[in-house]
Amino acid sequence: MTLLTRPFMQVDVFTAVPYLGNPLAVVLDGSGLSDAAMQTFARWTNLSETTFVLPPSPEGAAAGADYRVRIFTPGGELPFAGHPTLGTCHAWLAHGGQPREAGVVRQECAVGVVALRKLASNETAGHTTGAGADRMAFAAPPLTRQTPDAAHLAQVLNALGLQPAQVLAAQSLVNGPEWLGLLLDSPDTVLALTPDHAALKTLGQKVGVAARAPSAASDPGHPADGLLIARSSREARAFTPAHTAMAGPGSTAEPDLWVRAFAAPVGVAEDPVTGSLNASLAQWLIADGYLPSRYLATQGQALDRDGQVFLSQDAQGQVWVGGDVAICIQGTVTL
């Protein structure tokens, strides 16, 4: 195959501050690349996801898609993923992409056409954060969920080092990717986990763990504000002196939900900030009354990151998943 010079970006997703979110490699012209070539490059970048932008398929174009994206982890292709959706959209727009419909970007992937739009200021759960003027949100794909098999759940808890009493609720969540979602008793429990990743890989199970901040747990109608646990956890686990220097003014939001994602079966021990998981968690936790219709999730502290994910449900019941994106590398790649 003849190698070509292709436009390329590496962006950081779910953060306004570069290097505190989830990195994504975006090849802005994937035309002519074989599946094997895409997989090889994704394995080489060694990021949790690498995406390739293509013209929409005839079916996608008929559904209004502006472009098609293929999403690869080091271990295989994904039908959908959240941070690649936001990051690819941001890169496509920054590269000069023009949506067919003003104000809406329609991105085709293996689960269908996903709509993205700017997140309104009243959809940030009342939290104050930096950036935000170009903060986009994607429409969470339809979710199917069910109670997990008890024996399988017990094996997963053992791999995580959890006791059953620490789990408030559990659901198998599928919105393209499949996650076992666990709502735990406290953010401290979430942050202290040291999973057996080899065991999770053997079980073939991706796991998302989450816990509500104390005020969100006691009163879902009132988002958390100024929580001691949020503040202390950030200082102790996320904001090293270097991070503090980078954070700058305006990044004062305190989260309602603390999240971690373990994905050993697809070659990623822990994902820094995970859009697909946060989308499915929101659809579950809002529907079952654990959280309000607008809240802020944080993820990545165990990896020295500080991702922020804005979740909101509109009047029609659609959940939107929003966040900032920072461009870190811009140029070309030979593929």
Residues labelled catalytic = 49
Residue 283 exposure: Cα atoms within 13 Å on the Cβ side: 26
> How does DSSP assign 128-140, residue by residue?
--S--TT-EEEEP
Q: How far apart are the C-alpha atoms of 23 and 4, rounded to whole Å? A: 24
Q: Which of 123, 20, 2, 169 is nearest to 11 (CA)?
A: 20
- Contact in structure between 255 and 224 (CB atoms under 8 Å): yes
- Contact in structure between 130 and 249 (CB atoms under 8 Å): yes
- Contact in structure between 22 and 304 (CB atoms under 8 Å): no
Q: How far apart are the C-alpha atoms of 168 and 122, rounded to whole Å? A: 30
What's the start-to-end Cα distance of the chain, in Å? Answer: 9
Q: Parallel, antiparallel, or unpaired: how do β-strands 178-184 and 207-212 relate?
A: parallel
Q: Indicate the residue type of 27.
A: V
3-state DSSP assignment of residue 105:
strand
φ, ψ for residue 268 (rounded to 5)?
-125, 110
Find the helix or strand (DSSP H, E) in which 144 lies: strand 144-146
